[in-house]
A and B are shown apart, each in its own frame.
Chain A
């Protein structure tokens, strides 16, 4: 799911040249899934359509900065999620939070964890992108391997642990395996990802959860 498709690349190229039929094609291709995404949360068709409309305009406004190697669908969903969140905040449905980690926060919002204080490892956006790309490559390789081998139980287990954040015990119950098996899957997975991160010479500080336990 992470590579941009050839069809999307061509569409973007034509849209950048001002081709209105390409823009129409992009709308036809993506509006249905964006509308389903918004409407599942808002529940009102007319308002949902307005948010999708704002997302399309937002996409065109951001097009000069869009990296064509990124998957278009994910990018459109991210704009839509932003517009949706914004709408829900304005409506008072999404509670406001002190979301900035600014200097006046006094460290109040630091998460209690074995990780270093977040403020001590702030670094360039370029560096962060490089780290993230390395991690994505490693994860893709691993998931592809599981899928090819039919190791669905391992894939489900790791997804429950790291994407949903479930405890080993709960994942074991859900999947009908022992906690020891879950612990083994987790150990093997982390060891492999850590090894790849190390080979790339990346800082361990920015991936704290891989060095816990």
Chain B
């Protein structure tokens, strides 16, 4: 039987880079499949030893990710058709979590009430500004 997950997908799982639905499926399988857990640990050991895979490097450096501006244009349907088709592929088929987060954020900005955003940002600022240091 073919493995349920490719090594590329398991590497993405370790990087918290699969779509939320796929992450949940891998987690559920790991709870019941010791062979999968061993295989995943093997991948992790290889990464620890510094053996590169193209997929990891590609994801980490976001080699093919569109810019935030391009993602914004995609939402506005202002990209040329082929570029638009590629962004849809990258987000839906490859499942790029970081581009998806950018898209969700831009969609929310259209809908969210300003006061909610200001309150949240103030909370972040007040809880972290004490960690600001000079001459870092």
Residues on A facing B (Cβ under 8 Å)? 1-2, 15-18, 20, 23-24, 27-28, 31-37, 40-41, 49, 52-53, 56-57, 60-61, 63-64, 71, 73-74, 77, 81, 84-85, 93-95, 97-101, 105, 108-113, 115, 118-119, 121-123, 128, 131-132, 135-136, 139-140, 143, 150, 152, 155-156, 159-160, 162-167, 174, 193, 206-210
Contact = CB atoms under 8 A, between A and B. Distances in A.
Contacts of A210: 54
28 contacts: A1-B61, A1-B63, A2-B63, A20-B129, A23-B129, A27-B125, A27-B128, A32-B108, A52-B124, A60-B128, A60-B133, A74-B61, A81-B15, A81-B16, A97-B30, A101-B44, A110-B46, A111-B7, A111-B43, A140-B63, A155-B86, A156-B86, A159-B64, A159-B94, A163-B8, A163-B59, A166-B8, A174-B93
Interface residues of B, number: 76
A135 B20 contact: no
Contacts of A131: 52
Contacts of A207: 52, 54
B26 to A, nearest CB: 9
A164 B108 CA distance: 28
Nearest to A162: B54
A128 B50 contact: yes
B136 A16 contact: yes
A97 B85 contact: no
B101 interface: yes
Given A159-B58, A160-B94, A163-B12, 18 more contacts: A15-B136, A16-B135, A20-B132, A23-B128, A31-B120, A36-B100, A37-B101, A60-B133, A97-B30, A112-B42, A136-B63, A139-B54, A139-B61, A162-B58, A165-B7, A166-B8, A206-B52, A210-B54
B45 interface: yes
A68 B64 CA distance: 21
Interface string B36-47: 011111111110
Interface in B113-131: 117, 120-121, 123-125, 127-129, 131
A53 B127 CA distance: 7
Contacts of A156: 86, 89, 93
A96 B58 CA distance: 26
B49 interface: yes
A27 B132 contact: no
Nearest to B67: A1
